[in-house]
Chains A and B, each alone.
Chain A
Amino acid sequence: MTTMKDAQLCEYDARKAHALGMGGEAKLAARREKGLLDARERVAHLLDAGTFVESGLFGTSIMAEERGRTPADGKIAGYGKIAGREVAVISNDFTVKGASSSAVNGRKIGHMKRTATARGMPIVFLGESSGARMPDTMGAAGMGTMLGNDPTQYQRMRETPWASAVLGHCFGSSSWYACLSDFNVMRKGAVFAVSSPLLVSKAVNEKIDPEELGGWRLHAETTGLADLVVDTDQQALDAVKTFLSYMPAHHRQAPPRASVPEGSGAEMGGILDLMPEKRTQVYDMRKIVRTIVDKDSFFELKARFGKALLTGLARIDGRTVAIIANNPLHKGGAMDVDACEKGTSLLVMADSFNIPVVILVDTPGFIIGKEAEQRRAPGKIMNFMNALALCTVPKLSVVVRKSYGQAYLNMGGGRNSDEMAVWPTAEISFMEPAFAASVVTGAEAGDPAYDAALAKMQRETSVWDIASIYAAQAVVRPEETRDWLAQMLEAHELRLTNGVGQHLMRAWPTSF
């Protein structure tokens, strides 16, 4: 005999199966054919096996007539573990009403965010959504029900790390969370923008290609809103895991210490060979960075944006560090507006999550000229400078070659780092001597006055002058740089606060 309890459990099973079925087999099969993971497969790939605990499985549309057609209301939320550490996750299910934002799924996101913030765990946003759900949001009552009921919805105070993966077309909230996150990885073919191409074409009568509107090239190269671009869903999810491996669970904790891979530092003996003999020639600073840090630990961010400055996370002696380094391979290492914004963005993240900053310097200065001024270079240079000044985590600077002008300060000179070391190959002055000699003498190469001025200025850029007045705290042989950095990271540990900084930039804008 079937009891009332049996019937209730049967209903539970049936409703659960329906919710787990997402938008139905036909839509799921179409995704599989394209090689795309569905929202639940993404969660499974992201989290340690068997750790996902869902929150809101039985949530549906608030509209009675839609309840049967909106499993989990298009946004899957819950808790789980990555490498044994707790995270909150929100995975957009595009097969249910395009994962559009609704009253109910908005509550799910809000609950995840509040819990993650209050309990101190990272949040992962797996983005693929079409924007606000219509007709739910239409009309004044729709707006009053749906939007604006949570004044902290788009507030970012950097209490815990946020990571976002853009895994499909993202308009509205998936775009907003991508921009608010500390790390944003984008799969090629995915798009994120304020509005869909369809809406853009209707609103401004402009037919536009999705890739052009918000594709990976735009965000990797022009806007800098993508920190990393990958080819597949799986690579994107793996990148989120890698990013979180460097991060503490929350802002009141130091980042985790990892074991040091065998072979770390093994190439230090040849580090100087990575730099050309001639000071007029350039080289790829990434090779220097990879040689210094723990083996295979350099995780570059925004690699195709503001390339004259390279940024990323890495480990030295198992400790997470944020790397900021001029890259002479691009623009000779002369920093433009994009490079300034890129540097600022890394400094804000590093300080917010208690990550010491390591700066490697080889720059002729900032890019100057009309274009730079039109793009507000002075403001951007000062934002970068201000961010460095407000950094309360340990800052270590190593001048490997050129350090000139205001850029000397932005890259940690003039007491803007806790310790500054110089390689014997370094040269420090207000301006590239060849330009300075020309400015001072009004003459060009070949003129005796110019040649004499140049010779004097070149002598005066030597590291011994800056070391003798203790404006540099150390002169290190290039091959000893890794050891020096490891020792200084230890010396400058924030012992009084258990490795936690002051987070003076926790409310700094998340994009630029």
Chain B
Amino acid sequence: MSRQEIKSEITGTVWKILTTPQQDVAEGDTLMILESMKMEIPVIVEDGGVVVEITVAEGDAIQEGQVVAIVET
């Protein structure tokens, strides 16, 4: 098991959070959707595991590279 910090790939705003802590997630699942460049940009799980923490809230402005969730894989 290892803790993976899930980072935003892009600067934007958190639009919709689709997962909650303790939830199982599989590779390819969408954790949340960001709004950036007039587009809906998903934050996707690369390695399946369990969501430990969501570190942002809907409406938050976030920077590229900012940690938005922790997933234990």
> Contact residues of A with B, CB < 8 Å?
280-282, 304, 307-308, 328-332, 334, 364, 367, 369, 371, 432, 434-435
Contact = CB atoms under 8 A, between A and B. Distances in A.
Say what secondary structure dominates the interface of chain B.
loop
Contact of A332 (B36, B46, B64, B65): B36
B40 A282 contact: yes
Interface string B33-56: 000111111101010000000000
Contacts of B11: 369
Interface residues of B, number: 14
B46 A331 contact: no
Contacts of A371: 64-65
A307 B41 contact: no
A367 B46 CA distance: 22
Contacts of B9: 307-308, 330-331
Given A281-B39, A308-B9, 11 more contacts: A304-B46, A329-B42, A330-B9, A331-B36, A331-B41, A332-B39, A334-B37, A364-B39, A371-B64, A371-B65, A432-B37
B70 interface: no
A330 B37 CA distance: 12
A375 to B, nearest CB: 11
Contacts of B65: 371
A329 B65 CA distance: 17
B67 interface: no
Contacts of A432: 37-38
**Highest count of chain A CB atoms <10 Å: which of B36, B39, B42, B44:** B39
B42 A280 contact: no
B10 interface: yes
The 5 A-B pairs at the shortest CB distance, nearest first, are namely A332-B39, A331-B10, A434-B38, A280-B39, A331-B9
B41 A282 contact: yes
Contacts of A364: 37, 39
- Greatest chain A CB density within 10 A among B37, B38, B42 is at B37
A20 to B, nearest CB: 39
Contact of B37 (A304, A307, A332): A332
A310 to B, nearest CB: 14
Interface of B: 9-11, 36-42, 44, 46, 64-65
Nearest to A276: B40
Contacts of A331: 9-10, 36, 41
A282 B46 contact: no
Nearest to B44: A329
B42 A282 contact: yes
A323 to B, nearest CB: 20
A328 B41 CA distance: 8
- Max chain B C-beta neighbours (<10 A), residue from A307, A331, A434: A331
17 contacts: A281-B39, A281-B40, A282-B39, A282-B42, A308-B9, A330-B9, A330-B44, A331-B9, A331-B41, A332-B10, A332-B36, A364-B37, A364-B39, A369-B11, A369-B64, A371-B64, A371-B65
Contacts of A280: 38-40
Contacts of B40: 280-282
B23 to A, nearest CB: 21
Nearest to A279: B39
B6 to A, nearest CB: 12
B10 to A, nearest CB: 5
B28 to A, nearest CB: 8
Contacts of A369: 11, 64
Nearest to A280: B39
A334 B9 CA distance: 11
A255 to B, nearest CB: 31
Nearest to B11: A369
Nearest to B9: A331
Nearest to A278: B40
A17 B64 CA distance: 58
Q: Most A CB atoms within 10 A — which of B9, B44, B65? A: B9
A280 B40 CA distance: 6
Contacts of B41: 282, 330-332
A363 to B, nearest CB: 11
Nearest to B39: A332
A280 B39 CA distance: 4
A280 B64 CA distance: 20
Contacts of A281: 39-40
A405 to B, nearest CB: 12
Contacts of A329: 42, 44
Contacts of B38: 280, 432, 434-435
A307 B28 CA distance: 14
Nearest to B41: A332
Contacts of A304: 46
A362 to B, nearest CB: 11
A369 B42 CA distance: 20
